[in-house]
Chain A
């Protein structure tokens, strides 16, 4: 048991501890990205790691996402276990060619000969007044791509333990860290140990409606569930955790019990991850539904800068609770 089990910690610290552990345990692991070394990462996640592991294993890169993600792919093919940090999901689009055309496809194109054991971490999401070029939630786009695994840790435990499982995966894994979660604090449950990357988690059991969400919306959804409980509505909250592949068993198992579903996704509604989840419910759970599936999504605008507008553009507790009430009647 580490001392962490009794002291307060944060999501940011647990991400860092996870990397520290990985760097210490496996010499093939190294971290690279913009400002991850001397500056400690744009969001301070890798602060101090360069002092412990040196500039060879914690490498600052030039401002070229395409180049350093490509380098990461090459290193992975060559036998390393790179962790590549991209500052925000918006910037990852510069590396989309590398991710989609190389990382996700090489195993297939090589007839199974060339695996790409690469981990890419990046910040996603809004809520910090960083405006439309730093705030979008595009993890749903990545969940569209066969050949990669997409994770969205939303708890201290997942921040800490998903990385090891991701590094053990022989294929590319993308980890989306919601920017509003870095300061999430609490006590780490060290008892949970290594986590699997195949299952969604029921964060709060309930019987009346399934609230299905991930990442930065989990906290708001749990708050909404608390509020609903005061009104006598017993909501179940599901944290998807892994956005690709989706855990149909947990999702449908929940809906078959509650007969109602609300999908909460900070991403845009049209053709988004919420659409995929809702469709699976319709496809596999149609005869179990007692109300239309509701969605609470980000407004279909570039994320506003002004605080009130930004707040209005994102799923909030009130909206989630209202959607749940509509399903229950």
Chain B
């Protein structure tokens, strides 16, 4: 049972998405766990084959309990008889050294790289990685544009397995999704899972029209899910069969052991505990500054003019990116306070407080926010808010924030003095963007401005550190074109 938040001590296993014998890769979603806050998808940390499940659906176990046993693909498969002995005699040209003694799997059943959808690699390389049991996303690509090449897969495969160990490959089980190159590319770009798309092409091949239809369907259902999320949150067990999410994924929606009222109460209590702990333990100090957004707003207006509506950027994205860069610039505010003192984090995982309309609060993270281009920050923000509100966050998002932003501007608040999420050491508050008389170089004009505040842990940093942080945030907000 992974820790899905600093405050989590136990979790309830709602749903297994894999079973014994299934092949899993690092990063696959294997289970849904209910915390006191929401149903969260649990990612797998290892690649291999599920040997057995240790925790039954519905059971509540402490954090750290083993949920399942995963065998490395090679060992598990060694016990299997190859299902296609005729394939053994087939010559595999230029096969990687580590696989030289292994029979290639039957050519009729290449397996799909579902999670590898965003990795640039040719179909052959995908197939090869599949054979070698490698997660393409974890392979460093040396080809043009970072493309993963055969040599990369061979190198990785050789590194993963000692060459002397003659392991037999497990014949690939599930069928690779038949999809055209364009459909594959479009699916990766739009975040559509190919396996969930019904192909209308020859032999059921997924074509770009199928992917676009799935994307359009998602776009149509997304507003509904926001509108209907209160019901979804309040009546999750009953909504299991009817939720829009279910139609998308084909999975049963989370079936929770809590009833709606209990869920809200539990979430309230969790927030209460966390915030009490924060105010009890953390000596907060608060700083505030007003940021001139004249340049940013003008720049966004120009830029958005060229973009289709769904790709347009909002001021919040600029401020989030500026915050992330400021956190990198002032690392004393980016990290965790532990009994041993402050520990800084190299990556900036920017937590974003999302209030759930049914009540309650979550703060999932935009991972590596300082390294993402602005449009990607915007896309992640949209995605995160939508999924937070439908109760489908991933473990890596809920537990990893290194600094958090809370933005109450859309509710008309001008300044937020927030409470830090332990064990983080800083929280940034953003208010409403308002027009104010503003003097620049002795001339008075009307400018859009926003009040940015910092709540910081005085154990980890001093006011001057916080001041540098806000100055950096302000400075980045003046250079939107560099974000």
A-to-B contact residues, CB < 8 Å: 259, 286-291, 326, 329
Contact = CB atoms under 8 A, between A and B. Distances in A.
A290 B182 contact: yes
A54 B209 CA distance: 64
Contacts of A291: 180, 201-202, 207
27 contacts: A259-B182, A259-B208, A286-B122, A287-B181, A287-B182, A287-B184, A287-B185, A288-B181, A288-B182, A288-B185, A289-B180, A289-B181, A289-B182, A290-B180, A290-B181, A290-B182, A290-B183, A290-B207, A290-B208, A290-B209, A291-B180, A291-B201, A291-B202, A291-B207, A326-B202, A329-B202, A329-B207
Interface string B90-105: 0000000000000000
A329 B205 CA distance: 10
B304 interface: no
B81 interface: no
Interface residues of B, number: 13
A326 B202 CA distance: 8
A284 to B, nearest CB: 12
B317 to A, nearest CB: 28
Contacts, number: 30
Contact residues of A: prevailing secondary structure: loop
B200 interface: yes
Contacts of A326: 202
A288 B208 CA distance: 10
A259 B211 CA distance: 14
Contact residues of B: prevailing secondary structure: helix
Among B181, B184, B200, chain A packs the most CB atoms within 10 A around the CB of: B181
Interface string B172-203: 00000000111111000000000000001110
A259 B122 CA distance: 18
A286 B200 CA distance: 20
Interface string B62-75: 00000000000000
A121 B184 CA distance: 46
Contacts of A288: 181-182, 185
B95 to A, nearest CB: 23
Given A286-B122, A286-B181, A326-B202, 9 more contacts: A288-B181, A288-B182, A288-B185, A289-B180, A290-B180, A291-B180, A291-B202, A329-B200, A329-B207
A191 to B, nearest CB: 37
A82 to B, nearest CB: 46
A256 to B, nearest CB: 10
A227 B444 CA distance: 68
Interface string B106-134: 00000000000000001000000000000
Contacts of A287: 181-182, 184-185
B119 to A, nearest CB: 13
The 5 closest A-B pairs by CB, nearest first: A290-B182, A290-B180, A290-B208, A287-B185, A287-B181
Contacts of A329: 200-202, 207
Interface in B136-191: 180-185
A14 B184 CA distance: 49
Contacts of B184: 287
Nearest to B211: A290
A287 B121 CA distance: 10
Among B182, B183, B200, chain A packs the most CB atoms within 10 A around the CB of: B182
Contacts of B182: 259, 287-290
Nearest to B186: A290
